[in-house]
Chain A
Amino acid sequence: MQTCFWQPLLLSFKLAAVTTALLLALGAPLAYWLALGKSRLRPLAHAVVSLPLVLPPTVLGFYLLVAMGPASPLGRWIETVFGLRLVFSFGGLVVGSVVYSLPFMVQPIETALASLPVSLAEASCILGKSRWQTFWRVQLPNIRPAVLAGIVLSFAHTVGEFGLVLMIGGAIPGRTRVASIAVFNEVEAMHYGAAGRYALVLLAVTFPVLAALEYYRRRCAQAPVL
């Protein structure tokens, strides 16, 4: 009984941790390109990254379900090459969550990079450093609050997913039944006590993290940057 109760919660936090790590690796370079790149495709790419903010999660989930399913060429290719079937699996949830939480990682980093003085990067470049060295050692460390905001918001947003997870993962206990779905299932079964316990754990974890982030951001805002 105890294992059953904690399983969806552990799955939620595992999904959020894996998603956030992947988002940081993918989102930071993408944010750099969106903020400081020269391509004419940037407005289009920006719109694509922002889509999860306005599309209902079920719409996004539907497209991903169709794209990753065994009937689609992409789904078949992934299954043949990697031996992975993404729909109704943890891997599929990760792919969906990365897409769904992408703007929460990319947008704070992109905004902060765009507002960082260009002259800082120029000073680094004059000192013989490559764009990559400048990004990792000068630009990224100087927008730490934005990176932290991206990490926390992506994590919290992934923990709170419902529609998308239900569409592409179903609610398979131990595999794809995350805490937000467990709350829904318990309410459907009239188990308000269990639903309340899930809800309380989610609230107890996410609220202090968001509050701590806000305090940190205010402290950083008071400290002079240059």
Chain B
Amino acid sequence: MSADGMILTAERVTKRFGGLVAVDSVDFTIPPRAIVSLIGPNGAGKTTFFNMIAGLYHPTSGRIVFEGRDITGLPPHRITRSGIGRTFQNIRLFQNMTALENVLVGRHGRMKATPFEAILRTPRERREERETREQAKALLAYVGLAGKEDEFAKNLSYGDQRRLEIGRALGTEPRLLLLDEPTAGMNPQETAQMTTFIRRLRDERGITVLLIEHDMKVVMGISERVTVLDHGTKIAEGPAETVQRDQRVIEAYLGRARTA
């Protein structure tokens, strides 16, 4: 844990794409075991910010510190192995692999067997494979996909694919989980289920969650703190109720009221 007691600290993080400033000098912190949300209208820079934490983009300037370690500019696989898991806004499962195999790939960074051991099928390698399969099955059961281990990802229903993506991310043993619009395209009932599930992740597994949401209503129930981005800058931050009433937030979402 870092000196300020935060699991993640982003300092003045900026990302420029050519002339466009997608994220402009954003300060952001996540306390441990919290569920925090990042919201904002389309094109506000939420996903860009998210991808910088996950290592897909390198910040143009600024610094990101995870558990006291500077992770700015590390490649995605190193960031994942350091304890940050993620899902994608537009589901990116390995479509032609089974549900179990998807979670097994998630376990990749936590496994130790070398290709050489795999060729020789050493007892250690076989034990690791067996144990990992058990863990993966348990994870699938946890996300509600028991009995669907051998289904190909592409044949799963939309809701199940979302669950599988979370299961796969859990396979990486994250302490911080980044969820990019986990309820996108879901009906109200599925959304409610997903919201409950996210809370369970925190309560039962102690995982800190950063949620990106487009939809204000979803985040209100579960997040302790909401950060609002608009045009790449942070325009509001605080408890959901306060943010909801913030004049600038309302303007960002609905536009400025015409004054006479």
Q: Do A and B come from one complex?
A: no
A-side interface residues toward B, CB under 8 Å?
none
Interface positions of B (Cβ within 8 A of A): none
